[in-house]
Amino acid sequence: MKDFVLKGHVCYSKSKSELITRENAYVICVGGKSKGVFSELPRQYAELPIVDYGDSLIVPGMVDLHIHAPQYAFRGMCMDLELMDWLNRYTFPEEEKYADLEYAEKAYSIFVNALKAGATTRAVIFATRHRPATELLMDMMERSGLISYVGKVNMDREATEALEEESAEMSAYTTFGWINAVKGKFHRTKPILTPRFIPCCTDELMEELKQIQMTYGIPVQSHLSESPGEINFVHFLRPNNAFYGDAYNDYDLFGKNDDINTDVKTVMAHCVWSTPEEVELMHKNGVFIAHCPASNMNLSSGIAPIRKYLDMDMNVGLGSDVAGGHSDSIFRAMTDAIQVSKMYWRHVDQSVKPITFPEAFYMATMGGGEFFGKVGSFEEGFEFDAVVLDDTTLAHPQELNVTERLERAVYLELDRNGIRAKYAAGEQIMI
Amino acid sequence: MKDFVLKGHVCYSKSKSELITRENAYVICVGGKSKGVFSELPRQYAELPIVDYGDSLIVPGMVDLHIHAPQYAFRGMCMDLELMDWLNRYTFPEEEKYADLEYAEKAYSIFVNALKAGATTRAVIFATRHRPATELLMDMMERSGLISYVGKVNMDREATEALEEESAEMSAYTTFGWINAVKGKFHRTKPILTPRFIPCCTDELMEELKQIQMTYGIPVQSHLSESPGEINFVHFLRPNNAFYGDAYNDYDLFGKNDDINTDVKTVMAHCVWSTPEEVELMHKNGVFIAHCPASNMNLSSGIAPIRKYLDMDMNVGLGSDVAGGHSDSIFRAMTDAIQVSKMYWRHVDQSVKPITFPEAFYMATMGGGEFFGKVGSFEEGFEFDAVVLDDTTLAHPQELNVTERLERAVYLELDRNGIRAKYAAGEQIMI
From CA B358, how far away is CA B366, in angstroms rounded?
Answer: 11
To the nearest whole Å, the CA of A396 is away from the closest chain B CA by 6
| B54-104: pLDDT as tens digits | 999 999 999 999 999 999 999 999 999 999 999 999 999 999 999 999 999
B218 and B81 in a single domain? The answer is yes
Query: Residue B225 in 3-state DSSP?
Result: coil
Which of chain B's residues have a Cβ under 8 Å away from the Cβ of A303?
343, 346-347
To the nearest whole Å, the CA of B10 is away from the closest chain A CA by 18
To the nearest whole Å, the CA of A307 is away from the closest chain B CA by 15
Instruction: Verify whether the Cβ–Cβ distance B343 to A302 is below 8 Å.
Output: yes
To the nearest whole Å, the CA of A222 is away from the closest chain B CA by 23
To the nearest whole Å, the CA of B71 is away from the closest chain A CA by 11
Instruction: Verify whether the Cβ–Cβ distance A343 to B339 is below 8 Å.
Output: no
Select from A79, A354, A408 the Cβ nearest to the Cβ of B357.
A79
The residue of A326, A343, A348, A410 whose CB has the most chain B CBs within 10 angstroms, and thus the best one to mutate to test that interface, is A343
B401-405 long-range CB contacts below 8 Å, 24 or more apart?
A: B401/B21, B402/B9, B402/B11, B402/B21, B402/B22, B402/B23, B402/B57, B403/B11, B403/B19, B403/B21, B404/A74, B404/A77, B405/B9, B405/B57
Is the separation of the CB atoms in B72 and B107 below 8 Å?
A: yes
Q: Which residue of A has its CA nearest to B76?
A: A408
From CA B380, how far away is CA B37, in angstroms rounded?
Answer: 8
| Listed residue (A123, A136, A137, A1) closest to A61, CA to CA | A123
The residue of A347, A399, A414 whose CB has the most chain B CBs within 10 angstroms, and thus the best one to mutate to test that interface, is A347
From CA A253, how far away is CA A245, in angstroms rounded?
Answer: 9
ipTM > 0.95 for the complex: yes
Residue A399, pLDDT score? 97
Is the separation of the CB atoms in B288 and B267 below 8 Å?
A: yes
Instruction: Verify whether the Cβ–Cβ distance B343 to A303 is below 8 Å.
Output: yes
Which of chain A's residues have a Cβ under 8 Å away from the Cβ of B338?
79
Instruction: Verify whether the Cβ–Cβ distance A412 to B347 is below 8 Å.
Output: no
Neighbours of B430 (CB within 10 A): 8
Out of A353, A372, A391, pick the residue that ends a domain. Answer: A372
A298 and A246 in a single domain? The answer is yes
Neighbours of A213 (CB within 10 A): 20
The residue of B339, B407, B413 whose CB has the most chain A CBs within 10 angstroms, and thus the best one to mutate to test that interface, is B339
From CA B385, how far away is CA A311, in angstroms rounded?
Answer: 50
Out of B372, B392, B417, pick the residue that ends a domain. Answer: B372
Q: Which residue of A has its CA nearest to B355?
A: A80
The residue of B91, B101, B227, B326 whose CB has the most chain A CBs within 10 angstroms, and thus the best one to mutate to test that interface, is B326
To the nearest whole Å, the CA of A71 is away from the closest chain B CA by 11
Instruction: Verify whether the Cβ–Cβ distance B410 to A298 is below 8 Å.
Output: no
Torsion of CA B38, B40, B44, B47, to 10 degrees: 110
To the nearest whole Å, the CA of B361 is away from the closest chain A CA by 14
To the nearest whole Å, the CA of B346 is away from the closest chain A CA by 6
Which of chain B's residues have a Cβ under 8 Å away from the Cβ of A302?
343, 346-347
Instruction: Verify whether the Cβ–Cβ distance A75 to B410 is below 8 Å.
Output: no
A303 and A316 in a single domain? The answer is yes
Select from B107, B301, B417 the Cβ nearest to the Cβ of A397.
B107
B268 and B406 in a single domain? The answer is no
Query: Residue A176 in 3-state DSSP?
Result: helix
To the nearest whole Å, the CA of B309 is away from the closest chain A CA by 19
Q: Which residue intervals of B257-304 are DSSP H helices?
A: 276-285, 293-298
From CA B122, how far away is CA A97, in angstroms rounded?
Answer: 43
Instruction: Verify whether the Cβ–Cβ distance A73 to B398 is below 8 Å.
Output: yes
Instruction: Verify whether the Cβ–Cβ distance A338 to B79 is below 8 Å.
Output: yes
Report the relative pairing of strands A266-270 and A220-224 from DSSP bridges: parallel
Kindly give the parts of chain B with pLDDT less than 50.
none
B19 and B88 in a single domain? The answer is no
Instruction: Verify whether the Cβ–Cβ distance A339 to B73 is below 8 Å.
Output: no
A39-46 long-range CB contacts below 8 Å, 24 or more apart?
A: A41/A5, A45/A5
From CA A136, how far away is CA A230, in angstroms rounded?
Answer: 31
Which of chain B's residues have a Cβ under 8 Å away from the Cβ of A397?
73, 103, 106-107, 110
Q: Which residue of B has its CA nearest to A339?
A: B297
B233 and B139 in a single domain? The answer is yes
Residue A2, pLDDT score? 87
B216 and B264 in a single domain? The answer is yes
A162 and A250 in a single domain? The answer is yes
Residue A117 amino acid letter: A
From CA B98, how far away is CA B103, in angstroms rounded?
Answer: 6
| Listed residue (B68, B78, B83) closest to B232, CA to CA | B83
- Residue B158: which CATH number? 3.20.20.140
To the nearest whole Å, the CA of A152 is away from the closest chain B CA by 20
Residue B261, pLDDT score? 65
Neighbours of B71 (CB within 10 A): 22
Total of domains in chain A:
2
Which of chain A's residues have a Cβ under 8 Å away from the Cβ of B76?
407-412
DSSP sequence for B25-75? EEEEEETTEEEEEESS--GGGTTS-EEEEEEEEEEEPEEEEEEEGGGGGGT
A361 and A411 in a single domain? The answer is no
- Angle of helix B203-216 relative to helix B168-182, nearest 10 degrees, comes to 20
A11 and A136 in a single domain? The answer is no
Is the separation of the CB atoms in B103 and A397 below 8 Å?
A: yes
Select from B78, B79, B339 the Cβ nearest to the Cβ of A297.
B339
Is the separation of the CB atoms in B310 and B361 below 8 Å?
A: no
Q: How far is CA B337 from the centre of its chain?
A: 14
Select from B297, B398, B416 the Cβ nearest to the Cβ of A339.
B297
A371-374 long-range CB contacts below 8 Å, 24 or more apart?
A: A371/A63, A371/A65, A371/A124, A371/A219, A371/A265, A371/A267, A371/A288, A371/A315, A371/A317, A372/A63, A372/A122, A372/A147
Per-residue pLDDT in tens (0 to 9) along chain A, 431 residues: 689 999 999 999 999 999 999 999 999 999 999 999 999 999 999 999 999 999 999 999 999 999 999 999 999 999 999 999 999 999 999 999 999 999 999 999 999 999 999 999 999 999 999 999 999 999 999 999 999 999 999 999 999 999 999 999 999 999 999 999 999 999 999 999 999 999 999 999 999 999 999 999 999 999 999 999 999 999 999 999 999 999 999 999 999 887 776 668 999 999 999 999 999 999 999 999 999 999 999 999 999 999 999 999 999 999 999 999 999 999 999 999 999 999 999 999 999 999 999 999 999 999 999 999 999 999 999 999 999 999 999 999 999 999 999 999 999 999 999 999 999 999 999 98
From CA B64, how far away is CA B365, in angstroms rounded?
Answer: 9
From CA B125, how far away is CA B363, in angstroms rounded?
Answer: 17
Instruction: Verify whether the Cβ–Cβ distance A94 to B347 is below 8 Å.
Output: no
Q: Classify each residue of A277-305 as buried b or exposed e, where b means 16 or more C-beta atoms within 10 Å of its C-beta.
A: ebbebbeebebbbbbbbbbbbbbbbbbbb
From CA B86, how far away is CA B94, in angstroms rounded?
Answer: 11
Domain span at residue B36 reads 4-60+377-428
Neighbours of B46 (CB within 10 A): 9
Neighbours of B40 (CB within 10 A): 7
Residue B258, pLDDT score? 75
From CA B355, how far away is CA A37, in angstroms rounded?
Answer: 48
Size of interface A-B (CB pairs under 8 A): 135
| Listed residue (A422, A424, A366, A410) closest to A12, CA to CA | A366
Which of chain A's residues have a Cβ under 8 Å away from the Cβ of B412?
75-76, 326-327
From CA B269, how far away is CA B319, in angstroms rounded?
Answer: 8
Q: Which residue of B has its CA nearest to A228?
A: B346
Q: Which residue of B has its CA nearest to A108?
A: B397
Which of chain A's residues have a Cβ under 8 Å away from the Cβ of B103?
397
- Residue B418: which CATH number? 2.30.40.10
DSSP state, residue A322: B
> pTM, whole model, 2 decimals?
0.98
Out of A328, A347, A372, pick the residue that ends a domain. Answer: A372
Query: Residue B241 in 3-state DSSP?
Result: coil
B393 and B361 in a single domain? The answer is no
A260 and A171 in a single domain? The answer is yes
